[in-house]
């Protein structure tokens, strides 16, 4: 639930900069009552005029899928986001599990969907670009019974061999976890970690220069930069995004007026930065950012500029000085480790 709401908030916030204007949103939430029901979600997303929220079960997934695809017109951009439980089936395909999975004894896996055919279908509906983000585990479960194979799960569009020659785009499909691995989420209804990284990337650091749109978030940057970004902004948890389809088209998702790069400053030994009295980022002689708080890791978003910046610390009298470091702020992120001046190369 936290992931879906955060993604929709992100899309609405960046509606003006999306390459295709934001036209409509379908949202399903698992157990909305647990988080205060529709009223609470409506409060967070006042622009949508939400009166009720459908459950993320098979019936509503199918209905929302039909309504969604029914609205798609040639040249549209379509985005599919899923945050929940996932597994891989016997052929290694990523499978999303809906709220009522195993609820029906004779069709236990009917409330699932296979991401690959879904993504493939989005390439055949006339869309200009299609984006699929799957924030769920790709866990291999030895206990999954054979019956998962007998079900195709929910199919939002039946594919035909005819469609293969009529693809309008090659969708981008990224999973938040690698094949066979788990995806992680923090407690307290915060978005899962991959979603946090994705939103950060979309907000302006997974960018490249493009002829048509200037600085823009593109499929290529999301595909290749999200992993690097995650290691700079998330502590302790390793986020390992993986492409689910081959992607070779160069499509843009959103324009970015003010691209930035998240910078994570550490020290070796770790305590040295914590003991510093101040940390600064300097643009020549001009102070850009500074902090006087104690940090083991200081994170700050720095605008992308075409010149070197310098990270430097001041330390208390008697403490060993940390050597300053220069860096060129380029996307998607920077990790800087300061060392004592005596040990600096």
Partner 1 sequence: MSKLTFSAVVKGAFRVNVIGPRPNDVFTVMLIGSGDERELELDDGEYFAHVTDLSTGAEDRFPVVVDRNNHQIVRVQMSQATALSTGSWRNALAKKSELPSTATPWEEEITGNKGRYRLQTKRLSGGWRKFTGKVLTNPRFPESLKIMRPGAWPESPVLRLQFDTSLGPAHVYVPMFSGGTQIKRSTEGIANILPFEQTSAAVVGSLSHSLRSEVIHIIQWASGGSTDDAVKSLMQSRDDPWLAAAAGLLLLNGGQSRTTLSWAARLASRNAWMADLGIIGAWWNAIDTPKDEDGCLHLIAQARDLGNVYFWDTFAVVDKLLATLISGKSSPSLRASAGKELRRWKALQEGAFQVGASVAWIKKRSSRTLY
Q: Where along the sequence are the contacts to partner 1 (CB under 8 A)?
A: 90-93, 114, 116-117, 120-121, 140, 142, 149, 152, 155, 158-165, 167, 170, 209-215, 245-246, 248-250, 306
**Residue 47 or residue 150: which is nearer to partner 1 going by CB?**
150
188: phi then psi, degrees, rounded to nearest 5: 65, 35
Mark 63-85 as b/e (b = at least 16 C-beta within 10 Å).
Answer: ebbeebbeebeeebbbbbbbbbb
State the nearest-atom distance from the C-beta of 305 to partner 1, in Å: 10
Rounded to whole angstroms, the Cα distance separating 94 from 264 reads 33
CA 242 to chain centre: 11
CA dihedral angle for residue 142, residue 146, residue 148, residue 151, rounded to 10 degrees: 170
List, in order, residues 6 or more apart from 125 with CB less than 8 Å away: 69, 72, 78, 157, 168
**Residue 117 or residue 126: which is nearer to partner 1 going by CB?**
117
**Residue 228 or residue 319: which is nearer to partner 1 going by CB?**
228
**Residue 117 or residue 324: which is nearer to partner 1 going by CB?**
117
State the nearest-atom distance from the C-beta of 235 to partner 1, in Å: 31
State the nearest-atom distance from the C-beta of 306 to partner 1, in Å: 6
State the nearest-atom distance from the C-beta of 79 to partner 1, in Å: 20
Relative to beta strand 54-55, strand 28-29 is parallel
Relative to beta strand 278-283, strand 286-291 is antiparallel
State the nearest-atom distance from the C-beta of 4 to partner 1, in Å: 24
Rounded to whole angstroms, the Cα distance separating 323 from 321 reads 6
Rounded to whole angstroms, the Cα distance separating 267 from 290 reads 16
State the nearest-atom distance from the C-beta of 187 to partner 1, in Å: 31
**Residue 252 or residue 311: which is nearer to partner 1 going by CB?**
252
**Residue 139 or residue 312: which is nearer to partner 1 going by CB?**
139
Q: At CA 123, angle to CA 122 and CA 124, rounded to 5? A: 90
State the nearest-atom distance from the C-beta of 266 to partner 1, in Å: 28
Q: Please answer whether residues 310 and 326 qualify as being in contact, where contact means their C-beta atoms are separated by less than 8 angstroms.
A: yes
**Residue 188 or residue 212: which is nearer to partner 1 going by CB?**
212
Residue 330 DSSP class: -
């Amino acid at each position: 639930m936290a992931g879906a709401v955060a993604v929709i908030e992100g899309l609405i916030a960046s509606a003006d900069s999306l390459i295709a204007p934001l036209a409509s949103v379908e949202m399903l939430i698992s157990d909305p009552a647990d988080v205060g029901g529709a009223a609470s979600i409506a409060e967070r997303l006042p622009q949508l005029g939400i009166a009720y929220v459908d459950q993320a079960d098979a019936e509503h997934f199918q209905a929302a899928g039909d309504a969604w695809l029914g609205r798609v017109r040639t040249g549209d951009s379509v985005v599919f986001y899923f945050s929940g439980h996932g597994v891989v089936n016997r052929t290694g395909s990523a499978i999303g599990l809906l709220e009522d999975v195993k609820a029906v004894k004779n069709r236990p896996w009917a409330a699932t969907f296979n991401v690959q055919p879904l993504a493939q279908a989005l390439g055949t509906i006339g869309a200009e670009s299609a984006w699929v983000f799957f924030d769920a585990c790709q866990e291999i479960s030895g206990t999954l019974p054979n019956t998962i194979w007998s079900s195709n799960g929910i199919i939002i569009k039946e594919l035909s061999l005819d469609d293969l020659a009529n693809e309008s785009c090659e969708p981008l499909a990224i999973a938040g976890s690698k094949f066979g691995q788990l995806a992680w989420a923090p407690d307290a209804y915060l978005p899962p970690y991959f979603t946090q990284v994705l939103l950060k990337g979309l907000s302006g650091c997974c960018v490249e220069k493009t002829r048509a749109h200037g600085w823009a978030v593109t499929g290529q940057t999301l595909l290749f930069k999200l992993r690097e970004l995650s290691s700079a902004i998330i502590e302790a948890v390793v986020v390992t995004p993986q492409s689910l389809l081959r992607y070779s088209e160069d499509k843009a998702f959103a324009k970015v007026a003010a691209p930035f790069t998240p910078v994570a400053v550490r020290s070796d030994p770790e305590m040295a930065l914590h003991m510093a009295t101040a940390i600064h980022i300097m643009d020549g002689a001009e102070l850009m950012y500074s902090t006087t708080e104690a940090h083991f890791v200081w994170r700050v978003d720095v605008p992308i500029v075409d010149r070197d910046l310098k990270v430097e610390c001041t330390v208390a009298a008697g403490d060993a000085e940390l050597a300053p470091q220069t860096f060129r702020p380029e996307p998607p992120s920077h990790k800087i480790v300061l060392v004592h001046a005596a040990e600096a190369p």
